[in-house]
């Protein structure tokens, strides 16, 4: 029971803040936490976890009450390179980082 999120437009460092909190928790408890967490990227992680729970229910006939987060891996995705024009015809680079998320659920 897996779900992936690729090239999510948030830096991995910011995503790890929420990911470390929900890692190892029961799926239903983590969904409740992510639904009302005051971070923008918590909603993105909520969608991935919700997708994994629904995959487990539909494909493997598992009960959502018995699932827990076995592994939650946040890794670096592609980096969009942009520039900010400054004086004398130069630019300062702007790196827009993305995250890849791999989430696996297991049955208790």
Q: Where are the domains of the chain?
A: 2-107
Q: Report the distance separating Cα 18 and Cα 41, nearest Å.
A: 8
Give the model's pLDDT for residue 40.
Answer: 85
pLDDT > 90? residue 100: yes
pTM metric for this prediction:
0.88
Does the domain spanning 2-107 belong to CATH 3.90.470.10?
A: yes
Give the model's pLDDT for residue 96.
Answer: 96
């Amino acid at each position: 029971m897996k779900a992936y999120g690729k090239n999510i437009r948030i830096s991995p460092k910011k995503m790890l803040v929420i990911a470390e909190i929900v890692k190892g928790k029961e799926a239903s408890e983590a969904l409740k936490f992510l639904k009302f967490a005051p971070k923008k990227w918590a909603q993105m992680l909520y969608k991935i976890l919700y997708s994994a729970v629904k995959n487990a229910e539909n494909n493997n006939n598992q009960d959502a009450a018995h699932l827990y987060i076995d592994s939650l891996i946040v890794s670096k995705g592609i980096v969009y390179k942009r520039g900010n024009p400054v004086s004398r015809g130069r630019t300062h680079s702007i790196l827009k980082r993305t995250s890849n998320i791999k989430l696996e659920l297991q049955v208790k």
